[in-house]
Amino acid sequence: MVAGGLAMDPTHPAIKERIRETAERFKRLGYEYIKIDFLTHGCAEADYYYDPEVQTGMQAYNKGMAYLLEQMEGMYITMAISPLFPSQYAHSRRIACDAWAGIGDTEYTLNSLTYGWWLNQVYTYNDPDHLLLEPVSDGENRARITSGVITGIFMNGDDLSYISGIQVAKDKARKFLTNEDINAIAKMGKSFRPVNGNMDGADFLFMYDTGKEVYLAAFNYSGYDLTYDLPLSRLGLRESSTYKAKELWSGKEVKFKKNVRVCIPKKDVLVFRITR
């Protein structure tokens, strides 16, 4: 028993039949996206495996995942609680564990992005967990949504259905999920890089350079307002030049020369698109 679950032999015919039957059921129901979880169970070491050619837990994992991928053909696959490598069995991997709407959850997710942003070179996308619009402050909602769009996948997890959906979630969805500039970042599906990266925990500055624009996301995880001056050279820009920029959540137009001055309210975020 590991983490409340039994580890099963991925090479055993009964397990393979269960995978096949489950895949067929999902396809019949029309699902195109699947999350597979607790995959570390599949690489647990054992005294022996049904397949006599398999000698190690990772060999068993490779056998099982290759079979699962074959059965799930045509579906988008994201993995959680799984080995970093091998990576060829899924489109994305959860960059951390469960995250909710509070600023602490945003910081937790971005701690993993700070040190694992490069995993989008291994998987097609990094997965920041589904984004929830719980009854927290507007700033915390903005910060959590931004943490998703700069990680790689933008997926809302609230119940927005007509019958059972909570009205506060629907109102927040209309307010925070309809910003065209923010959604344009999500459509890129890219992971931003930390500007500092040498923090004790999560960085609070993340950037992405498209060649035409430089995006900068500046977070404030604390319970007080934060003012910070960032030299333009840290973003690969000339400090002697003046750059036009737009803060994407407010729509405010600004100009930067020498420094980017960010004045971030407590538990909130600013996102700048700087034109080269």
Does the structure show a pLDDT above 90 at 199?
A: no
The 10s digit of each residue's pLDDT in 99-130 is 999 999 999 999 999 999 999 999 999 999 99
Domain end residue (candidates: 69, 90, 111)? 90
Query: Would 163 be classed as within a structural domain?
Result: no
Domain end residue (candidates: 43, 70, 90)? 90
Domain end residue (candidates: 90, 107, 131)? 90
Q: Which pair of tokens denotes residue 197?
A: 């990266």
- Provide, for the chain, the percentages of residues in helix, strand and coil under a 3-state DSSP scheme, each rounded to the nearest 5: 35, 25, 45
| Band of residue 143 on the pLDDT scale cut at 50, 70, 90 | very high
Q: Which residues of 126-162 are buried (b: 16+ CB within 10 A; e: fewer)?
A: bbbbbbbbbebeebbbbbbbbbbbbbbbbebebebee
Question: Domain total for the chain?
Answer: 2
Q: DSSP H helical segments within the chain, as ranges?
A: 13-28, 57-71, 103-116, 138-149, 167-176, 180-188
Query: Would 48 be classed as within a structural domain?
Result: yes
Query: Would 44 be classed as within a structural domain?
Result: yes
Query: Would 222 be classed as within a structural domain?
Result: yes
Between CA 54 and CA 65 the distance in angstroms is 14
82 Cβ contact list (under 8 Å, min separation 6): 36, 39, 40, 90, 93, 94
**Which whole number is the average pLDDT over 26-37?**
96
Does the structure show a pLDDT above 90 at 6?
A: no
Tell me the β-bridge partners of 78. Answer: 35, 92
What pLDDT is recorded for position 231? 97
What pTM was estimated for this model as a whole? 0.94
Query: Would 65 be classed as within a structural domain?
Result: yes
**Which whole number is the average pLDDT over 212-235?**
97
Pair 133, 176: CB distance under 8 Å: yes
Query: Would 118 be classed as within a structural domain?
Result: no
Taking the CB of residue 274, how many other CB atoms lie within 10 A of it?
21
The 10s digit of each residue's pLDDT in 44-62 is 999 999 999 999 999 999 9
Averaged pLDDT score across all residues of the chain: 96
Query: Would 155 be classed as within a structural domain?
Result: no
**Which whole number is the average pLDDT over 239-244?**
97
What pLDDT is recorded for position 198? 86
Does the structure show a pLDDT above 80 at 1?
A: no
What pLDDT is recorded for position 5? 83
27 conformational bin, left if phi > 0, alpha if psi -120 to 50, beta if neither:
alpha
What pLDDT is recorded for position 135? 86
Query: Would 119 be classed as within a structural domain?
Result: no
**Which whole number is the average pLDDT over 152-163?**
92
Query: Closest Cα to residue 61, out of 31, 93, 92, 84?
Result: 84
Percent of the chain with pLDDT over 70: 100
Q: What CATH number is associated with residue 260?
A: 2.60.40.1180
| Band of residue 91 on the pLDDT scale cut at 50, 70, 90 | very high
Range of the domain at 263: 193-275
